[in-house]
Amino acid sequence: MGFLSPITALIVAGITVPLLVSLYFLKLRRRQVMISSTLLWKKAIQDLQVNSPFQRLRKSLLLLLQLLILGALLFAMSRPTMETVASPGQRVVIVIDHSASMNATDISPTRLDEAKKAAIELIDNLDTTGESAEGGALGGAMVVSFAQGARVRQSLTNDPSRLRDAVRRIEPTDQVSRLGPALSLIEPYVQTGSDDESDKLVVYIISDGKVQASGQAMSLAGAELRYIPIGGGPGRMAGAADPDNLGIVSFSARRDFDKPEIVQVFARVANFGSQPVSANLRLSLDGQVSRVQPINLQPAPAPDPESSATSTKHETSVQFDFVLPGSALVELAHDYDDQLESDNTVRLTLAPARRLRVLMVSRGNAFLVKGIQSAGVRQLSFMNPEKYEDQDPLSLRRGGWEAAGTSGLAGEGFDVIVFDGYSPTTTPKVDSLYFAASPPIEAIQRVASEEGDTGSQRVLTWERDHPLLRYVVLDDVILSEPGRLVVNSQASVMATGQSGPIMAEVVEDGVRHVVASFDILKSNWPIKISFPVFLGNTVQTLGLGGLADDAGIAYRTGDIATIPIDTGDNLSYTGPVTIDVVRTQGTTVLPVFTRAGLYEASQPIEPPFDRLGVNLLAPDESDIRTADILNVSSIATGTTATTSTFRREVWRWFIWAALAVMLIEWLVYTRRMHL
């Protein structure tokens, strides 16, 4: 049992209890009167009117009953709470957050351990003994864990031991926290349209409240949601220290276009604590300290409950410049002792200096040439379709990363092939971009506009979050005879016009194909700023294996890594956890990263994929201040959400107890007064 207002009750008790007891110390001041007999005066020894202090305290049933009444009222005033016990037949879902912020140590040993402890206490208080009229068990409970994704750890059961085991098996992760997938998992268990309270689904969300919107509606209509906050913050739980965390929230590296041996490293560091911080940032190359820079940050401003901002912080930006033609492991760390370790160090594997080599297969397109050159490509070659067909597809594929050097001319072949108005007869072995053309594969096929269909069309929708369409605006693009694409489930549509899909991509045998169904010369796109932006995104992404912005390989927790190299069957990466490589459709794929850190290949492979840096880089997770309100229905409506702990107030019980004792006290008093 706990109390929400114990201080108030203690103050009132310190005043009222002494006053009540003092009444029984007072005595009568009697006057002497001569009488003939005391037979009729036996009741006179009871103090009915007080007019003189003091007397010795005597045993009194009335005093005991009055103290019980006062005690019950004081207990009610202290607002006692008890763990909620699900009634027989009620179904319960326990949802546990095991994201990066739940590894904070403001509660010993970690928040996740405290959350699992709270979940087990909740399981111990669940009533799973109810039975139906037919003798079957009613209700039940299930356990769900969530971070970037969600997983059912234990389906509905009445066995508390299985529920406890499911809770204990939840492992920590360094992923971001998204509640939407967990609510989607629970939604099929909601009994909609039922007015029976015993059939209602009660969902306990045990988290620090640092959840991010993932584009899904965070709602669960028809269920009762209860939020159990874990950790320190505005509604700090007992035993939690003040949140204190200094996190690296952004990290990237660039090489100069003209002098790729020059490297620039950028980072942002944020203070999420309530105290000023002084620390040192240490930049290391292959384990050797290269730079040390002191930083000073002011305390983070207090969160504004009226603001929609997910986190408040005080941050600073830093930059390091150095010369390095080859590959290296770049590591940035700070030396401040805070309460979250996963954002104290970030890493990336710097790729060797290299200029992209691009082949353009076309009969002539000045707009496309200028657009590719504006993407930073210095090695652009040209072929007409007839000459291209005379080439061996394997000979057009460029070799691996150069070990060193700045010329970028060491390897034969090309990094990217751009097909303009020509569809090759054989599938290229190089990542390719197509305009008014398509590769000879079933996943994507281009259908030309019908004869006579010369009307102009606009782009209706496009995937703004797609890496190739980042910062690309297409609502002002007008297309003439755009055609359309026919795609299967292996391909993903990037943009849609009035006639159907007009941009899509697919990975076939480890080669990436990006297809646009329209001719850029029959559109106004080349004169729009979004055209060179798209070419820059696409050429850099295809040519550098995803290094559109950075000069190195780095991943975030929750990412799935695709490695563009041929590997053996037993390749794995060893780091905070061991990851086994999977070969699928000719591509080397790593499963989702769950922990931040450095992963090294078990076999010798060429840089930069021999060492993989996995980082958190999530400001919402670095802000370890516990949210006192979990805004579940911020996107969708129709959700019944109660942000409270699993302890419910029981002060009404003590009010009824005080009334019952008061009735007994009145009966005792009236009986004594009856002569």
| Residue 466 pLDDT > 70 | yes
**Confidence category of residue 137, pLDDT binned at 50, 70, 90:** very low
| Residue 30 pLDDT > 80 | no
Round to whole Å and give the CA distance between 404 and 350.
12
- Rounded to 10°, the helix 651-673/61-77 angle is 160
Round to whole Å and give the CA distance between 373 and 73.
81
CA-CA-CA-CA torsion sign (563, 569, 575, 578) = positive
Higher pLDDT residue, 216 or 44? 44
| Residue 408 pLDDT > 60 | no
Task: Calculate the CA dihedral of residues 255, 258, 261, 265 and round it to 10 degrees.
Answer: -20
Higher pLDDT residue, 221 or 627? 627
| pLDDT more than 70, % of the chain | 76
| pLDDT more than 90, % of the chain | 40
Round to whole Å and give the CA distance between 503 and 517.
6
**Confidence category of residue 13, pLDDT binned at 50, 70, 90:** confident
Instruction: For residues 245-252, give the mean pLDDT.
Output: 94
> Can you give the pLDDT at residue 472?
92
- Rounded to 10°, the helix 6-23/61-77 angle is 160
**Number of Cβ within a 10 Å radius of residue 464:** 11
Task: Report pLDDT digits (tens) over 350-399.
Answer: 877 666 789 999 998 999 999 988 876 768 899 999 999 998 888 888 76
CA 364 remoteness from chain centre: 48
> Can you give the pLDDT at residue 406?
29
| Residue 54 pLDDT > 80 | no
> Can you give the pLDDT at residue 636?
35
Instruction: For residues 203-226, give the mean pLDDT.
Output: 76
For the chain, domains (ranges, CATH) are 2-80+653-673 (no CATH), 85-241+626-645 (3.40.50.410), 246-353 (2.60.40.10), 357-543 (3.40.50.880), 552-615 (no CATH)
Q: Of the ranges 71-85, 202-216, 220-234, which one carries the lowest mean pLDDT score?
A: 71-85
Task: Report pLDDT digits (tens) over 253-305.
Answer: 888 766 778 899 999 999 999 899 999 999 999 999 999 999 999 998 876 65
Judge whether 473 and 510 are in contact, CB under 8 Å: no
Round to whole Å and give the CA distance between 93 and 95.
6
Task: Report pLDDT digits (tens) over 581-607.
Answer: 877 655 677 889 999 999 998 888 877
Task: Report pLDDT digits (tens) over 540-558.
Answer: 788 765 444 456 788 999 9
**Predicted TM-score (pTM) above 0.75:** no
Q: Of the ranges 77-86, 127-136, 197-206, 437-446, which one carries the lowest mean pLDDT score?
A: 127-136
Higher pLDDT residue, 283 or 661? 283
> Can you give the pLDDT at residue 438?
94
> Can you give the pLDDT at residue 394?
83
CA-CA-CA-CA torsion sign (38, 39, 40, 46) = positive
Instruction: Pick the most confident of 75-89, 522-536, 645-659.
Output: 522-536
> Can you give the pLDDT at residue 215?
47
**Confidence category of residue 3, pLDDT binned at 50, 70, 90:** low
